[in-house]
Chain A
Amino acid sequence: MLSFFKYAADWLIYGQLGFDPASRLGQAINFFVEDTAKIFFLLIVMIYLIALVRISLPVERVRGYLAGKHRLVGYFLGSVFGAITPFCSCSSIPVFLGFISAGIPVGMTMAFLLTSPLINEIAVVLLLSLVGWKITLLYVLIGLSVGIVGGLFLDAIKAERLLQGFARKVYEQGQHAQIEAGEKKRVTLQDRHVFAKRELTEVFGRIWIWVIIGVGLGAALHGFMPDNWFEAHLGAGQWWSVPVATLIGIPLYSNATAVIPVMESLIVKGLPLGTTLAFCMSTVAASFPEFVMLKQVMQWRLLVIVFLMLLIAFTIVGWVLNALY
């Protein structure tokens, strides 16, 4: 179905506007038109559809599901819920405190908080339309695993000791808390539509410009950078290229929407898959403002541990994938 956009772009750019399909400029413009149209279409459909469902799953209910779950099940569920319930990053602190006040372990809470930015409908739509379902699936599975393993690790080192004083008190009181799953409210079809429409305008209004910038950059790379440039210049097997990619990704946090379209071009130009994914994940998940916000509930030591844990995890993922592919 998505090949429609390819035909449409070919028809418009090569047929109607008369660009030469063999020219670099023609290819770059064609790439830009096809990808922007395709991504906008998919984003509009997906954001709307997901919002229709998500209205039934507020964080209050997620907390109800997670409270009192066996640990191993909990880490898995925490990650999965994190993937499907995005929340405004400014809600991180209330969500964190809300979870631990219900006696949910710090690691399980962090599994939720870490996967949430890593796997969201925007990243998934972009990956799907640009790099295909196999890499998207891989990305989602890795994202879930990072959340689960990260959560297990944080509980293994007893991360609750490194919370700020008041947050620790909340945690300790939470050990005896009885939390009822949030009451089920009846949601009409009309409510769903209103909510989804609002989500769509809000999210789309925020990210459309980044899609254009990202795809524009990708198109420029696509048209003007020789194929396999990276293989020629970096060599496919440079071990240090993965940690470097991870580090470069950190300051790009706010522009995840712009980074994924560039990724596609990087893969085509011969950047190894593992390096590219490590770069992408650190762009999406390791964001400084988010971490500074968590400072309100965590001591510096714990913040540094979480941050390093993410960087190490992404680097290992990159190495393993490079070795496999």
Chain B
Amino acid sequence: MRLEVLGTGCAKCKTLYENTQKALAISGTEAELVKVEDIATIMKYGVMSTPALVKDGTVLFSGRLATAEEIAGMLR
């Protein structure tokens, strides 16, 4: 599984990255986690409000934060 956190580097985006890390730990899932700050890549996903979380090329949600538990639930 490949997870991408989309965000141009604001505080919320960093929090989402950390929460996603925690979510991986909670659910015990193995995944590649990257942070995408390049605007062209973000646009490719059609995301206009950051932060957003992408799983294997599909946008899970955008424009908001999510708790580690919530993300863990989505990864299962």
Residues of A within 8 A of B (CB): 58-60, 63, 87-91, 93-95, 97-99, 101, 166, 170, 195, 198, 202, 293, 296
Partner of B49, one of A58, A101, A170: A58
Partner of B43, one of A58, A60, A97: A97
Residues of A within 8 A of B43 (CB): 94, 97-98, 101, 170
Residues of B within 8 A of A97 (CB): 39, 43, 48
Write the chain B residue with the least CB distance to A199: B64
| Count of chain B residues near A, Cβ 8 A | 19
> Are the C-beta atoms of A90 and B48 separated by less than 8 Å?
no
> Are the C-beta atoms of A87 and B63 separated by less than 8 Å?
yes
Sample of 18 A–B contacts (CB below 8 Å) = A59-B63, A63-B48, A87-B49, A89-B10, A90-B7, A90-B8, A90-B9, A91-B48, A91-B50, A91-B63, A93-B8, A94-B42, A94-B48, A97-B43, A98-B43, A98-B46, A202-B65, A293-B8
Partner of A90, one of B40, B46, B50, B65: B50
User: Digit string of B57-72 for contact with A (CB within 8 Å is 1, else 0)?
Assistant: 0000011110000000
Residues of A within 8 A of B42 (CB): 94
CA distance A97 to B10 in the complex (A): 18
Q: Given known contacts A87-B63, A198-B65, is B49 in contact with A94 (CB within 8 Å)? A: yes
Q: Does B47 contact A (CB under 8 A)?
A: yes
Known: A88-B12, A91-B50, A293-B8. 5 other contacts (CB 8 A): A60-B48, A90-B8, A94-B47, A94-B49, A94-B50
Q: Does B24 contact A (CB under 8 A)?
A: no
> Are the C-beta atoms of B48 and A95 separated by less than 8 Å?
yes
Residues of B within 8 A of A (CB): 7-10, 12-13, 39-40, 42-43, 46-50, 62-65
Residues of B within 8 A of A94 (CB): 8, 39, 42-43, 47-50
CB distance from A316 to the nearest CB of B (A): 32
> Are the C-beta atoms of A59 and B10 separated by less than 8 Å?
no
CB distance from B65 to the nearest CB of A (A): 7
CA distance A146 to B28 in the complex (A): 52
Residues of B within 8 A of A87 (CB): 49, 63
Closest 3 CB pairs of A and B: A90-B10, A98-B48, A91-B49
CB distance from B33 to the nearest CB of A (A): 20
Partner of A95, one of B9, B10, B49: B49
> Are the C-beta atoms of A59 and B48 separated by less than 8 Å?
yes
CA distance A58 to B50 in the complex (A): 12
CB distance from A297 to the nearest CB of B (A): 8
CB distance from B20 to the nearest CB of A (A): 17
CB distance from A269 to the nearest CB of B (A): 36
CB distance from A47 to the nearest CB of B (A): 15
CA distance A250 to B35 in the complex (A): 32
Partner of A166, one of B40, B49, B62: B40
Partner of A59, one of B8, B12, B49, B65: B49
> Are the C-beta atoms of A198 and B64 separated by less than 8 Å?
yes
CB distance from A78 to the nearest CB of B (A): 14
CA distance A95 to B48 in the complex (A): 5
Residues of B within 8 A of A59 (CB): 48-49, 63
Residues of B within 8 A of A166 (CB): 40
